[in-house]
Structure 1
């Protein structure tokens, strides 16, 4: 089994960012920012783990695509919510659904990969 190292690295760095974002939400953010930052950190952290599992699966390329979609979606979603909360850029709110769609796509792509028959090994 081989690991998708670039995806695993992206997942690890995304997970670290999610923890930092969550810590800021818990200890440095005002009450109005806290909810947005906590939500972003939650989804980013969840999808960092999702990507790490996909990177470790050693399965077809479709699993890697699922991992990248989920991890990128989590990052985009978290960054959009952070920009709204910290920089007061409410206009960036239109970007958050792109992240959400990528997260959903990652899960659906993974489901397709699981349902596909395994290639025959000789």
Structure 2
């Protein structure tokens, strides 16, 4: 599990830099200001959680259920939150109606919040 967390942290980090550059350059010309701002929110949250995944990956063993749930909450929450925002932002550009993804974004956000809450429990237990 530790390796999975570190791999996802690394992938999410690399993708957020790549997608951030895409948004700042190529997408700036084809998306509305609102769409671009939404896209950038996805990039920021993805990078924040990439860093969190790397930090927890280096500090925890993931031998406990709590730590495993924390890792999966951050991984799945980031995927659902950021990538649903990307697809929603790009839906007009790719000519697809992806409004069905609307409820996916808050679900991803809830999973990320759960990850933070589980991290808090882990930290408090270590006192």
TM-score band (shorter)?
A: 0.7 to 0.9
Query: Does the alignment pair 1:23 with 2:27?
Result: no
1:110 is displaced (CA, Å) by 0.5
1:117 is displaced (CA, Å) by 4.3
Q: Which residue, out of 102, 105, 113, partners 1:93? A: 102
Cα distance between partner residues in 1 of 2:17 and 2:68: 23
**How large is the RMSD of aligned CA atoms in angstroms?**
1.9
- Which consecutive residues of structure 1, in runs of 5 or more, have no partner in the other structure? none
1:33 is displaced (CA, Å) by 2.5
- Which consecutive residues of structure 2, in runs of 5 or more, have no partner in the other structure? 93-97
Query: Does the alignment pair 1:7 with 2:11?
Result: no
Cα distance between partner residues in 2 of 1:117 and 1:82: 37
Greater Cα shift, 47-56 or 27-36: 27-36
Kept in 2: contact 1:80–1:95 (CA 8 A): yes
In the comparison of the two structures, how many residue pairs are matched? 116
Give the aligned partner of residue 58 of structure 2. 56
Please report the TM-score for the alignment, with normalisation by the length of structure 1: 0.84
Kept in 2: contact 1:12–1:48 (CA 8 A): yes
Post-superposition Cα deviations, 1:40-74, rounded to whole Å, max 9, x if no partner, equal 00001100111111111134532343133113211
1:87 is displaced (CA, Å) by 2.0
Please report the TM-score for the alignment, with normalisation by the length of structure 2: 0.81
